């Protein structure tokens, strides 16, 4: 069905884009690319979780936990171990939240995850001795503050996220995820380990978002709770994955590029206050006009084109026979 080349296309494009941007070395484009890459990682991670039917509004919790874990552990155990701590803490938080929300369906799940994310923000403010409170905290700066290396590292993380997403879309996982999402009882009856799969998806998703958050914190070496725990980081992944096309790898990538580009345009036209109005407008237009996202639209176009060629060939064949 899919040829090897189209499957490799996202990897090649990401690699080429990253190398080209590092080569050109224009600060504006590098910052923009870093923004796109970080949001794309969170969107891919959100999508991975949603494939098991868990539509989360709690991404911000992991984003914030990631940056805070790195900042808190780095002075204690050193940089390398602190990055490992990010993975471990995010995995633990994901397991905990996954188990807590296991029985919740649909809207209840969304509200509970949203509640978790907002509670984390409050937790940070309530324990200022550990977290620095609302004044913020200083995670170690990523790649000594060289934007080109930062982009390179975040690009690598994006490649890893793409590879994970592709693996989970492969034959080994996709049918199980699909069954858990659509008919969980049937999945359990046919021997799919529903609980383990759901928690597994939660962990993969949470760790990816946490790593993205840690990178984000390392961009400037300074974060405040309202920066990383904001509901924006919960809504953005959902919006990007949905606008791009869910249950695909390329969808969140396209969505991230489209939305970030739009944001830049809006910021220069409207200014710093209220520029996010375009998010609202675009989301509403998409939900009405193309509920399957960009990928859905492309597929429809491809199907249409395909039908035309098939019809054309059939016509030719008929003419030949006649």
CA 210 – CA 62 distance, rounded (Å): 5
Chain residues 240-259 in contact with another protein, contact rule CB under 8 A: 242, 246
Cβ 275 to another protein shortest distance, Å: 7
Q: Which residues contact 156 (CB under 8 A, 6 or more apart)?
A: none
Q: Which of 24, 287, 301, 310 binds another protein (CB under 8 A)?
A: 287
As given in the structure block, the two tokens for residue 226 are 């309202």
Question: What Cα–Cα distance (Å) separates residue 146 from each residue in 30, 141, 184, 218?
Answer: 11, 9, 47, 11
Cβ 241 to another protein shortest distance, Å: 8
Burial of 139: CB neighbours in 10 Å, binned 0-12, 13-18, 19+: buried
Cβ 278 to another protein shortest distance, Å: 8
Which residue, among 228, 62, 207, has the nearest Cα to 137 in the 3D structure?
228
Q: Which of 24, 81, 163, 281 binds another protein (CB under 8 A)?
A: 281
Contact of 114 with 61, CB cutoff 8 Å: no
Contact of 259 with 244, CB cutoff 8 Å: no
Contact of 181 with 52, CB cutoff 8 Å: yes
Chain residues 199-228 in contact with another protein, contact rule CB under 8 A: none
Q: How far apart are the first and last CA of the chain?
A: 33
Chain residues 41-100 in contact with another protein, contact rule CB under 8 A: 50, 55, 57, 100
CA 133 – CA 309 distance, rounded (Å): 62
108 binds another protein (CB under 8 A): yes
291 binds another protein (CB under 8 A): yes
Cβ 170 to another protein shortest distance, Å: 23
238 binds another protein (CB under 8 A): yes
Task: Closer to another protein by CB, 138 or 283: give it.
Answer: 283
DSSP label of 142: G
Cβ 118 to another protein shortest distance, Å: 5
CA 296 – CA 279 distance, rounded (Å): 20
269 binds another protein (CB under 8 A): no
Cβ 177 to another protein shortest distance, Å: 15
262 binds another protein (CB under 8 A): no
268 binds another protein (CB under 8 A): no
Q: Which stretch binds another protein (CB under 8 A): 25-33, 105-113, 160-168, 193-201?
A: 105-113
Task: Closer to another protein by CB, 150 or 230: give it.
Answer: 230
Burial of 269: CB neighbours in 10 Å, binned 0-12, 13-18, 19+: exposed
CA 242 – CA 247 distance, rounded (Å): 9
Contact of 90 with 62, CB cutoff 8 Å: yes
169 binds another protein (CB under 8 A): no
Cβ 87 to another protein shortest distance, Å: 24
CA 261 – CA 60 distance, rounded (Å): 22
Cβ 75 to another protein shortest distance, Å: 25
Q: Which of 43, 65, 89, 114 binds another protein (CB under 8 A)?
A: 114
| Binding positions for another protein, rule: CB under 8 A | 50, 55, 57, 100-101, 103-108, 110-112, 114-116, 118-119, 121-123, 125-126, 231, 235, 238-239, 242, 246, 270, 273-277, 279-284, 287-288, 291
């Amino acid at each position: 069905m899919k040829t090897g080349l189209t499957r490799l296309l996202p990897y090649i494009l990401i690699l080429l884009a990253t190398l080209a941007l590092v080569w050109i070395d224009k600060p504006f484009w590098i910052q923009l690319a870093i923004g796109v890459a970080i949001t794309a990682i969170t969107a891919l991670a959100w999508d991975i979780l949603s494939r098991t039917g868990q539509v989360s509004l709690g991404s911000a919790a992991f984003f914030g936990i990631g940056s805070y874990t790195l900042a808190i552990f780095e002075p204690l155990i050193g940089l390398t171990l602190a990055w490992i701590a990010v993975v471990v803490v995010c995995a633990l938080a994901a397991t905990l939240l996954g188990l807590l929300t296991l029985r919740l369906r649909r809207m209840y799940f969304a509200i509970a995850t949203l509640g978790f994310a907002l509670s984390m923000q409050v937790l940070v403010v309530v324990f200022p001795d550990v977290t620095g409170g609302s004044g913020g905290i200083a995670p170690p700066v990523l790649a000594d503050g060289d934007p080109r290396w930062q982009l390179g590292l975040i690009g690598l993380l994006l490649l890893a996220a793409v590879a994970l997403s592709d693996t989970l879309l492969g034959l080994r996982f996709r049918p199980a995820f699909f069954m858990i999402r659509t008919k969980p009882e049937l999945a359990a009856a046919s021997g799919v380990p529903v609980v383990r799969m759901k928690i597994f998806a939660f962990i993969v998703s949470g760790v990816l978002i946490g790593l993205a958050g840690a990178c984000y914190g390392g961009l400037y070496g300074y974060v405040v709770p309202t920066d990383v725990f904001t509901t924006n980081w919960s809504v953005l992944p959902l919006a990007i994955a949905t606008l791009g096309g869910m249950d695909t790898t390329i969808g969140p990538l396209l969505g991230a590029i489209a939305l970030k580009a739009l944001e830049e345009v809006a910021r220069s036209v409207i200014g710093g206050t209220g520029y996010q109005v375009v998010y609202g407008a675009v989301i509403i237009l998409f939900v009405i006009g193309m509920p399957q996202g960009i990928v859905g639209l492309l597929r429809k176009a491809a199907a249409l084109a395909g039908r035309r060629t098939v019809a054309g060939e059939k016509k030719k064949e008929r003419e030949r026979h006649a």
